[in-house]
Amino acid sequence: MTDSPISHHTGGSVEKPAEDDGSPEQKAQMEQAYQQMQRKLRITKLDEDIKHKIMVLSGKGGVGKSTVATGLALCLARRGMSVGLMDIDITGPNVPKMLGIEAAELNVEDGQIHPALGPHGVKVISMAFLLEDPDKPVIWRGPIKLGAVQQFIGDVAWGELDALIIDFPPGTSDEPLTVSQNLPGIDGMVIVTTPQEVALLDSRKSINFSKTLSVPVLGVVENMSGYTIRGTAEPSTEVSVMGPAGVPLQALADEAGDWSLTLDIFKSGGGASAATELDVPFLGSLPFDPGVVRGGDDGVHRIIAEPDGETARSFNSIVDNILATLEEGSGPQVRIT
Ligand SMILES: Nc1ncnc2c1ncn2[C@@H]1O[C@H](COP(=O)(O)OP(=O)(O)O)[C@@H](O)[C@H]1O
Ligand SMILES: [Mg+2]
């Protein structure tokens, strides 16, 4: 047979195979080859269409990876950038809940999946939209999971984006590997950690993982560092507060009578020292903020609820550092291969 399904190459698209010949089996094969080709072309185009692609990873769960991924996406979008957010945590996809768009439905048109729209126009794709019952655990067989991730990359109509943020399951699962093998031009990964020293071990694991993936490390974010309490007292007087384990802590009220005290719930500085020790940039820390938990549960992200609050300010400074790193084109500098 001479007329291969991919014989007419016109301006980056492929003509559909003629349907007038061949057995049903051949036709099915041709259709499949055509679909694969289309996907390949779309993936190649993704590299041009999406300026920056950033993976968000952590050594273990519960450190705030999804909180950071959604926060970065919202911060970038607030700056007027067009942003996509790909939630690849197939076993626990909670990005839609955090953004209050759980009820959204994905449209499929011309074989392409159209992302749901979150706050500030963030385009969101998540397995949560496809599960019938998000509370029911799904056992994914390897190949199906692989196919799902590939589809998230190749079959989504992202359009042109300034940045695509990708949220993953915790640890060194298959998904980051699949993404790094299928998505061209990944800028790098942001590693989320908590301040305890044990987190250093997890971060080291993540950094070694980046070598396996051949994806540069953009830097480390320390999440859930100090919790700040504030109050007022007589100006210039000392205030005593009962801290954890009944240890009294002192703060000095300023001339206006305002005082604040930061409690290092999980110690502090672990993220910065991990970054120094592992020789990767430190991108900044996010305070422990009970509003983040509430926001995650209520579907109103902290950045939306309090755009000028402390957490949003910390996010903005992290975003500044990430953008500076990307602009420097520091890929080679931070690339560990
Ligand atoms: N800075 C923070 N302050 C307080 N709670 C936080 C903070 N970051 C995350 N959390 C809470 O911790 C829990 C786990 O966060 P999540 O982003 O889902 O972690 P991961 O994606 O790494 O499993 C959530 O309930 C979230 O609201
Ligand atoms: Mg998560």
Q: Look at 76 and 276; give whichever has higher pLDDT.
A: 76
Q: Say which ligand is closest to the CA of 223.
A: 1
pLDDT confidence bin for 332, thresholds 50/70/90: very low
Per-residue pLDDT at 217: 92
pLDDT at 3: 37
Report the run of H or E that residue 125 belongs to, with start and end: strand 123-126
Mutate to test the pocket of ligand 1, among 56, 65, 67 (most ligand atoms within 8 A of CB): 67
Write down the pLDDT at residue 10.
39
Helix (H) or strand (E) holding 298: helix 290-298
Q: What's the rounded Cα separation, in Å, for the pair 150 and 38?
A: 13
Top mutation candidate among 87, 90, 292 for ligand 1, by most atoms within 8 Å of CB: 292
Question: Ligand 1 pocket: which residues have CB below 6 Å?
Answer: 58, 61-67, 94, 170, 223-224, 286, 288-289, 292-293, 296
Q: Are strands 116-117 and 123-126 parallel, antiparallel or unpaired?
A: antiparallel
Q: How do residues 209-228 score in pLDDT, each as one tens digit?
A: 888 889 999 999 999 988 78
What pLDDT sits at residue 199? 64
Side chain identity at residue 267, one-letter code: K
**Distance from the CA of 271 to the center of ligand 1, in angstroms?**
16
* Percent of the chain clearing pLDDT 70 (strictly above): 88
User: Is-contact 171 61, C-beta < 8 A?
Assistant: yes
Name the DSSP class of 257. S
* Mean pLDDT of the 164-191 span: 91
Closest CA to 260 of 274, 270, 250: 250
Mean pLDDT to the nearest integer, 59-70: 92
> Considering only CA atoms, which residue is closest to atom 26 of ligand 1?
293
Which of 42-51, 65-74, 204-213, 234-243 is modeled with the greatest confidence?
65-74
Instruction: Give me ligand 1 centre to Cα 270, in Å.
Output: 17
Quick: pLDDT tens for 84-136: 999 998 888 889 999 999 989 888 888 889 999 999 999 999 988 888 776 77
Predicted pLDDT of residue 189: 94
Domains of the chain: 44-225+265-334 (3.40.50.300), 227-263 (no CATH)
The answer to whether residue 152 scores a pLDDT higher than 70 is yes
pLDDT score at 177: 92
Q: DSSP character for 265?
A: B
CA 203–ligand 2 middle distance (angstroms): 16
Burial class (CB in 10 A: 0-12, 13-18, 19+), 265: middle
Ligand nearest to the CA of 92: 2
Q: What is the 3-state secondary structure (H, E, C) of 31-64?
A: HHHHHHHHHHHHHHHHHHHEEEEEEEEECCCCCC
Say if strands 258-263 and 227-232 run parallel, antiparallel, or are unpaired: antiparallel
Percent of the chain with pLDDT over 90: 44
pLDDT at 248: 85
* 179-194 mean pLDDT: 92
* CA angle, residues 191, 260, 194, in degrees to nearest 5: 15
pLDDT over threshold 50, residue 273 = yes
Closest CA to 99 of 134, 126, 62: 126
CA angle, corner 46, sides to 316 and 208, nearest 5?
Answer: 60
What pLDDT sits at residue 20? 61
pLDDT of 335 above 60? no
Of residues 173, 172, 178, 207, the one with CA closest to residue 190? 207
Unique residue bearing structure tokens 């859930």: 224
Pairing of strands 83-87, 9-10: unpaired
